[in-house]
Amino acid sequence: MTSASLIGANDAEWMTRIRSAAADRLADTPMPSEREEIWRYLDLGFDPAFDTAPTEAGSAGGADVLLDAWCGAVVDVVDGFVIGDHATVATAAEGEQKDVGDDLFSVAFDALSPGALLVDGALLGQPVFVDVQSTSDATTFPGVHVDVPKGADASVVVRMRSLTDAPAVVVPRITADVGDNARLSLTVIQDWNYQTRALGRAVIDVGRDAGLVLSEVGLGARLGRLHLDVNYRGDGSWGKIYGAYFGEEDQTLDYRYFMNHIGTNTRSDMFLKGAVEDEATSVFTGMIRIEETGRRTEAFQTNRNLVLSDGASAQSVPNLEILNNDVQCGHGSSVGPLDEDQKYYLMSRGLSSDTADRLQVRGFFAEALAEIPQTELEPHLRERILSKFLTAQEEGRL
């Protein structure tokens, strides 16, 4: 698919109908409201500027430290367009579309996205790095669909970055099907510039005896949102969900994670750690939902937050919805400053106050970052997170 392809030019007839219906609804669909629980705590008073959506991609960026560390295939998605003759756009059969909701941004994606990159088959024979890029202040709709065949083992990274400092709105969508007895290791790296508002949506279906290891690292964006649904449809399906995020300045990092247990003997473990400084805000809403069919489910969620400045804030709201009694579930969350007792102990061993604080922050994130399945990326992501705290110390912002 080349950058010159017009939006919808190669759609199947049924997809044309979906796109047309979404376009008709777009003008009458309101901006989400903070009064809705799923959008609570967010400032949504901005213009999504859907009329700026481009009809072709800008110029792709070059390699950087993450790509230099990567051994595997690399595919570019630039301003929502899939770039490269070896890459293809997903063309799911009619009736196989994911339920991504009907909010304004979901409707706009259906109407305006050029089409999702398809990661499947031969491409999954090696680790795949999807480099999603924004090149201007336009509103763009990048999509990625991962289809892991029965019995396969796949490793995919989706990194999202800005090539300029221009303010933009980005509406990414990631979907995946993990076939029976298959495994998907998926890492999502959110690294937009601090002027960008990103409203992301992800839906993953996990088949019988299949597994998902999902790691998300939140670094950038003025508003960086990821609404994730993992559907454990197959008996014996399982998932391990990890997250690490660090907000500074006036960033808002927003995570709404839903683990939906439908099959029997399913398992999920959700573990996120975040920190905020300056005037930044983080939001976590976690939901474990166990259907009546979800017998012998084991599901747990944990969210830990460091608040490093008086002006920063963190919201953490874990939830359970259990419709079957034969289950084991639990949740926990915490919001607070660095541990003064730990600091005293480290300083009693000769460390300075700043060094003791840096060691605490490093140790706080170590557990989550160690679970990134693509281990070659972990040192670079750890450095990016710690550099936020170190810079704030050096500039006297803490």
Which of 173, 253, 185, 237 shows the shortest CA–CA distance to 215? 185
Q: What does the pLDDT look like over 227-243, one tens digit per residue?
A: 999 999 999 999 999 99
pLDDT of residue 384: 97
Contacts of 71 (CB under 8 A, 6+ apart): 127, 376
Contacts of 46 (CB under 8 A, 6+ apart): 169, 197
Which of 112, 256, 247 shows the shortest CA–CA distance to 192? 247
Q: Tokens for 95?
A: 């009736």
Phi-psi region of 296 (alpha: psi -120 to 50; beta: other; left: phi over 0): left
DSSP state of 92: P
pLDDT of residue 2: 33
Spans of the chain, pLDDT less than 50: 1-5, 93-95
Which of 211, 192, 383, 368 shows the shortest CA–CA distance to 284? 368
**Total-model pTM:** 0.94
pLDDT of residue 99: 83
CA 234 – CA 254 distance, rounded (Å):
29
Vertex 305: Cα angle to 304 and 306 (nearest 5): 135
pLDDT of residue 66: 95
pLDDT of residue 50: 96
Phi, psi angles (nearest 5°) of residue 122 = -60, -35
Please report which helix (H) or strand (E) contains residue 150, including its range: none
pLDDT of residue 17: 81
CA 208 – CA 69 distance, rounded (Å):
34
Residue identified by tokens 């922050």 is: 361
Strand partners, 145: 118, 175
Question: Are the CB atoms for 347 and 365 separated by under 8 Å?
Answer: no
- What Cα–Cα distance (Å) separates residue 98 from each residue in 80, 115, 205? 19, 14, 9
pLDDT of residue 4: 34
Question: Are the CB atoms for 288 and 261 separated by under 8 Å?
Answer: yes
